[in-house]
């Protein structure tokens, strides 16, 4: 292991603040902090409308509507260093889709880039000590000096939203001797654009994030649930063991 510095040689040189170096993070991934979004908590609003009616003795039917709306959800939709879609469309119009892909993947100094009139965004862009990725795609980014602008780790991407609607039909039948049956059917729909927060590299296009608004990965439109409840006939008021210590232990 090498020492950081030796005391007998004095303290190492240290630039006194304020030190402003706008190029200190060039050619690396950087984090983006959005105060307005990062400090705004996610919000869920829920509402329910329910109607219940007794059809026969001990039989009831219930119809419910459940809704939920989520806003300011943590997402992975913002790609602040995406090549603008307008630039990509312009390249496709000039050289075709296949030609645009080849051009974006070519180096800025290649004959293909020179023929297309693509020039370096700044003087040292072709210097390998300054910029390791010298492709045309990197040169056309809004911030070509950075690799990826991370908006998720810093909590600055709260562009997600969701909407849930569900209709529930429930039937309950209660018989004597502590036996009851309940069945329900739910038809629901979950729409969201916040699924991209987990297991995705981001949105297709950061300019219109609503392109990601679609059926959620946890959407389950149809759900049937059946359940029964049976009270054992032991304890006070039941058929057996109406009294005594044992009735208190196993009763109910």
| Under 8 Å between Cβ of 81 and 27 | no
Q: Name the β-bridge partners of 48.
A: 66
| Same-domain check for residues 204 and 227 | yes
Query: Are residue 131 and residue 196 in the same domain, yes or no?
Result: no
Does some domain include residue 22? no
Nearest Cα to Cα of residue 213 among 222, 223, 204: 204
Cα angle 42, 45, 51 (rounded to 5 degrees) comes to 160
Please check whether residues 59 and 121 belong to one and the same domain.
no
In a domain, 13, yes or no: no
Q: Is 196 found in the same domain as 238?
A: yes
- Say how far apart CA 1 and CA 11 lie, in whole Å: 19
184 and 196 assigned to the same domain? yes
With respect to residue 200, please indicate whether it lies within any of the assigned structural domains: yes
The pLDDT of residue 16 is 73
Residue 130 belongs to what domain range? 81-148
Does residue 232 form part of some domain?
A: yes
Let me know if residue 6 belongs to a domain.
Answer: no
User: Which pLDDT value is given to residue 238?
Assistant: 74
Q: pTM of the prediction?
A: 0.70
pLDDT in single tens digits along all 252 residues of the chain: 788 888 888 888 877 776 777 777 888 888 887 776 677 888 999 999 999 999 988 899 999 999 999 998 888 788 889 999 889 999 999 889 999 999 999 999 999 999 989 999 988 888 887 888 899 999 999 999 998 888 776 566 788 899 999 999 999 998 877 789 999 999 999 999 888 665 455 677 887 777 888 999 899 999 999 999 888 777 777 777 777 777 777 776
Q: Which of 148, 167, 201 is the last residue of a domain?
A: 148
23, part of any domain: no
* 67, 166: one domain: yes
Report yes or no on 115 lying in a domain: yes
Among candidate residues 98, 129, 148, the one where a domain is terminated: 148
Domain membership of residue 163 (yes or no) is yes
DSSP state of 123: G
Whole-angstrom CA distances from 86 to 81, 135, 214, 236 are 14, 18, 24, 78
Kindly tell me the sign of the dihedral angle through the C-alpha atoms of 195, 193, 32, 72: negative
Asked whether residue 168 falls in the same domain as residue 209, the answer is: yes
* Pair 164, 128 in one domain: no
Task: Give the number of domains in the chain.
Answer: 2
Q: Beta partners for 43?
A: 71
DSSP code of residue 189:
E
Q: Are 129 and 72 members of one domain? A: no
- 166 with 243, same domain: the answer is yes
245 and 191, same domain (yes or no): yes
Query: What are 124's two structure tokens?
Result: 């040292």
Q: Of 90, 117, 148, which residue sits at a domain end?
A: 148
């Amino acid at each position: 292991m090498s020492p950081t510095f030796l005391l007998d040689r004095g303290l190492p040189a240290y630039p006194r603040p304020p030190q402003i170096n706008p190029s200190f993070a060039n050619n690396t991934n950087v984090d983006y902090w959005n105060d307005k979004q990062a400090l705004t908590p996610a919000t869920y609003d829920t509402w329910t409308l329910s109607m219940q009616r007794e059809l026969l003795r001990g039989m009831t039917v219930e119809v419910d509507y459940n809704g939920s709306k989520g806003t300011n959800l943590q997402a992975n939709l913002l790609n602040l260093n995406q090549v603008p879609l307008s630039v990509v469309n312009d390249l496709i119009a000039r050289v075709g889709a296949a030609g645009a892909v080849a051009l974006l993947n070519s180096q800025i100094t290649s004959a293909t880039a020179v023929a297309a009139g693509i020039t370096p965004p700044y003087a040292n862009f072709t210097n390998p000590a300054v910029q390791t990725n010298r492709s045309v795609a990197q040169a056309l980014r809004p911030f070509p000096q950075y690799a990826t602008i991370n908006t998720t780790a810093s909590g600055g991407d709260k562009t997600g939203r969701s909407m849930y609607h569900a209709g529930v039909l429930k039937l309950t039948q209660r018989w004597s001797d502590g036996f009851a049956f309940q069945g329900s059917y739910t038809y629901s729909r979950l729409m969201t654009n916040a699924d991209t927060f987990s297991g995705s590299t981001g949105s297709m296009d950061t300019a219109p994030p609503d392109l990601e608004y679609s059926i959620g990965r946890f959407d389950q439109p149809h759900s049937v649930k059946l359940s029964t409840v049976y009270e054992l006939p032991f304890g006070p008021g039941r058929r057996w063991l109406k009294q005594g210590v044992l009735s208190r232990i196993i009763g109910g």
